[in-house]
Amino acid sequence: VLMILLGTAAQREVNTGRIDDRLVGLADVMPTLCELAGVPVPPSCSGLSMIGDCKREHSYGECGVEGQRMVRTRKHKLVWTICGSHFQLFDCVADRAERRNLAADPAYSSTFDALRGELLSRLSDVDRERFVKSGELVGIPAREQTHPDQRGLNAQRGLQWP
């Protein structure tokens, strides 16, 4: 997801017209605003300022309690779907639309292993307790999805999804 940062003409910290390929997330908004305002970043803040020199090598994300966990580098993204314990690995440079799953491709086994290790290290204590057994990620059994035959507006908006 792209992040656009726009400062005022007087703010030298935000370079106009500059493109930065750093990995950012919502956790980075607060330390960025603190730095721009000239106030200290609270120690409890886990993000990095988007105008500072620090750049992360990996970005981690979660979607839902039993949904997905994801880790991304500038080149690759590994997505683990907990329900069904399914992995997807994408080359975000060569396959920007993320259509080719490389998780089972032997040529990407070292990338897969490295990103899986990073994903394991980023899991919360609750996730580790629930989904890690003997150092391996074990999700939950896939559930059969049943959707009522709805052809109205609610079905088009995806509201039937469990």
pLDDT at 100: 95
- Helix, strand or coil for residue 72? strand
Residue position matching structure tokens 């939950």: 140
HSE (CB half, 13 Å, CA atoms) of 37? 9
Answer whether residue 152 shows pLDDT above 70. no
Cα angle, residue 20 at apex, residues 44 and 40 outer, rounded to 5°:
25
pLDDT band at 161 (very low <50, low <70, confident <90, very high): very low
Which distant-in-sequence residues (6+ apart) come within 8 Å of 121 by Cβ?
none
48-89 pLDDT per residue, tens? 998 878 888 999 988 888 889 999 999 999 999 999 999 999
Has this prediction a pTM greater than 0.85? no
d(C-alpha 98, C-alpha 73), whole Å: 14
The rounded mean pLDDT for the chain is 85
